[in-house]
Structure 1
């Protein structure tokens, strides 16, 4: 409908939702919308979209065009968190009841007492928390962003190069009519669009991260079940809905399942916070792997060849499963070896300590332990997430060797020798030690014995007690001269 002569400043009514029309007019300098574009959007059903959803999309579009050109395509934490929360709430995610919170607090308190009897690794003040999926998403998303941000930057750069190559290879007549203004070279247009496309690509990866973490939030049983320090102490987190489903699927008493999982999670939390180097080394190994990931640019070009580069959903579908080159670099192989060893050591120690803590208290401990092992052997809840985001299978492949190592240390010298393996990263077991468990145990025992003898002699010297020199008389006493004839 044309503007009335009495109201010349009133814009033409497009029939689109006001929120969308406002954004489009802002992008075109306030001019009337092109009738063909309006008709196309109606054909896409945008005039029927929920206003709240449209407002969110409109805000993201405005950010794409209004942001600075310095963006590198890294993860947008706000976009990722919003998508993760929406994904988590797609299935039932009720607010945690007070009864569930009380049950988790009690289980973690009991777990702490049982663990006190089998390990001296301590982190005072641990508190049991019962979280919903949304709470876990909010708490862990900053760590997820740190882990996958190197991939987001690499993917964005690769897509930028692929789009530039394709558009630069096309002449003006090779693009849909009206897509390029008359007289403008496609490559020049790409240069102008590059900042917006980088932000769009970063948003696309952020959405992918949010979907993955939101899905994962419905599968995990405890806060750090993925064996990474995602939740900061003093919180020891259990997911009540998932724990109840886990127990029901095993036909096992829920309180026993809750207690076993509380012991495992408390043990893991103690380890991460009593051994300050282990958590950072795990996260660094994942980041090192991600940072050196090769992006399969040929596959990206193939995926982008037949789609509209301005359609984020089409881009995401076209690139699904195409991002990562199949080969691993030497740096990736080294990072993966470190990561798999650390994961195995953490979970091996947790297995051994948990078994010692619960064996006298939980009648169904053996069945629960076997269920945890089967769950982990099938890939675990984090494996698909990391495979999609980083091209990495997050699995402690040498878990049995690590558990045998800690059990052997415990047999040789009790909990003190077992837990002493974490005293410093230089003395902690590595992949070669998992190949030779008995050799490692003997070396640790020898160091421990030598250290005990030295400590005893030093203690005797400080207290002025006679040592070996007394048995030999005064000869050789420090500071004395020759014995007179």
Structure 2
């Protein structure tokens, strides 16, 4: 047999032959014979590596519908595998317990807030049901980062390909992009699956993951939350059910709020750019048969560089928004559960848990570069308490009617000005003018002046001409 080093150029496959071989491999149309493998070896291409690429890419392309986007089926499969691995469901006793807790919590909550009840009945759900319900939102939040990583991986691998080989692999570009997306989707699924083992309710993470108007508790995780608190389960269930209902009611009432939160999260995520130097270094030694290094880099956040100033500002706005939402939920829940002896202890446990975050939440921060912890929760709750004491629940809840009424970061720092505005409104007084009012008045005056200008012809003088009398 002739050694690969002794093969002549006539024995080596041309670009068209190699491209056809790659298309067969990547398209799952069967293997290539040993002689073709030897030809690849003669060109300096590792045949074993090419066979591994075939297996990896065929798996990534399974069920391909021609879409260049990320295939999220791997995320769903992985998340559900983790969520359902214990095989536990909801017992009849737990279902009755939480149905009763939700019913009583709804009555108490209606005494503490003017925001109306939910149209849908709140319910206990399994971990798998939580995954199914929340996965669309997780995908929306993570897609900008997934796309950035998969596109950067494609570019990095192309940069490692010799110039003379690029025409031959041109058709594989979309497939390589999907490989990066599939790896990311798998990692996201693992994180979501682990989150399903930690979250206690639909609103536990702070962002609106559940469909609007839906409230739920996960009985499988309820016992873990209360294990070290030494609090009776019925009290714990009542407080957590009240918090969940308050969260769901708020997002159903302020229909603009869900989009507002999601938009701020995705705006942050779109600013995430992959560290191309780190990715190119990784691509130079990437082994498709053993993608553990790439998976570890994606999971740890090593491919995401430090945040830009714009991202820091976006994250600060998001943290203030989440703190404002959860601060309101804190105050309303406290007012609704005054009959529960351990309510204060439970509330403190919830605040500490949200401030620290669980392992899966920390993994999500590494994966997407986003921390979903409201760092100013206590300050926001203090603001809402001051507002409630000063003007009552109706005026307080009215701040959620329109986006421009919602408290700002400055109001969290110093709520006195916000309270003064609300009290003036209750007295029927005109609100104090601000810079926006002055700018708007100047703009209207300028437009009115333009209409009165004689040079505008018919608009100013009508049929009498520019010197005629102005119409009354």
Relative to structure 1, is the Cα distance of residues 135 and 70 closer, same or farther in structure 2, using a 3 angstrom cutoff? closer
Cα pair 1:68 1:195 within 8 Å, conserved: no
What do the CA deviations read for 1:308-365 (whole angstroms, capped 9, x no partner)? 14644442134443221113242x2342232111100111001101111111x21111
Give unpaired runs (5+ residues) of structure 2: 1-23, 39-47, 432-472
Cα pair 1:123 1:273 within 8 Å, conserved: no
Is the partner of 2:191 in helix, strand or coil?
Answer: helix
**Please, which of 419, 441, 466 is the counterpart of residue 441 of structure 1?**
419
Give unpaired runs (5+ residues) of structure 1: 1-22, 38-42, 47-56, 170-184, 454-485
Relative to structure 1, is the Cα distance of residues 189 and 317 closer, same or farther in structure 2, using a 3 angstrom cutoff? farther
Q: Which has the higher helix share?
A: 2
Q: TM-score if structure 2 supplies the norm length?
A: 0.77
Cα pair 1:223 1:236 within 8 Å, conserved: yes
Q: Which residue is equivalent to 1:322?
A: 302
Q: Give the distance between the partners of 1:342 and 1:25, measured in 2 at CA.
A: 46
Q: TM-score if structure 1 supplies the norm length?
A: 0.75
Worse-superposed segment, 317-326 or 260-269: 317-326
Matching of residue 450 in structure 1 with residue 428 in structure 2:
yes
Please report how far the alpha carbon of residue 251 of structure 1 lies from its aligned counterpart in structure 2 after TM superposition: 1.7
Matching of residue 77 in structure 1 with residue 55 in structure 2:
no
Cα pair 1:293 1:329 within 8 Å, conserved: no
Please report how far the alpha carbon of residue 439 of structure 1 lies from its aligned counterpart in structure 2 after TM superposition: 1.7
Is the partner of 2:61 in helix, strand or coil?
Answer: helix
Q: Which residue is equivalent to 1:352?
A: 331
Please report how far the alpha carbon of residue 386 of structure 1 lies from its aligned counterpart in structure 2 after TM superposition: 3.2
What do the CA deviations read for 1:226-271 (whole angstroms, capped 9, x no partner)? 1111112543211112111212221211111111100000010000
**Please, which of 97, 103, 112 is the counterpart of residue 106 of structure 2?**
112
Relative to structure 1, is the Cα distance of residues 398 and 30 closer, same or farther in structure 2, using a 3 angstrom cutoff? closer
Please report how far the alpha carbon of residue 208 of structure 1 lies from its aligned counterpart in structure 2 after TM superposition: 1.1
Cα pair 2:383 2:415 within 8 Å, conserved: yes
Q: Which residue is equivalent to 1:428?
A: 406
Cα pair 1:380 1:395 within 8 Å, conserved: no
Q: Which residue is equivalent to 2:376?
A: 398
Equivalenced residues, count: 395
Is the partner of 2:251 in helix, strand or coil?
Answer: helix
Cα pair 1:77 1:141 within 8 Å, conserved: no
Q: Give the distance between the partners of 2:385 and 2:136, measured in 1 at CA.
A: 35
Pairs within 5 Å for 1:176-191: 185-191=164-170
Q: Which residue is equivalent to 1:152?
A: 146
CA RMSD of the aligned region, Å?
A: 2.9
Q: Give the distance between the partners of 2:242 and 2:421, measured in 1 at CA.
A: 30
Q: Give the distance between the partners of 2:400 and 2:201, measured in 1 at CA.
A: 23
Cα pair 2:235 2:340 within 8 Å, conserved: yes
Please report how far the alpha carbon of residue 194 of structure 1 lies from its aligned counterpart in structure 2 after TM superposition: 1.1
Relative to structure 1, is the Cα distance of residues 28 and 417 closer, same or farther in structure 2, using a 3 angstrom cutoff? closer
Pairs within 5 Å for 1:90-109: 90=85, 92-109=86-103
Relative to structure 1, is the Cα distance of residues 104 and 336 closer, same or farther in structure 2, using a 3 angstrom cutoff? same
Q: Which residue is equivalent to 2:18?
A: none
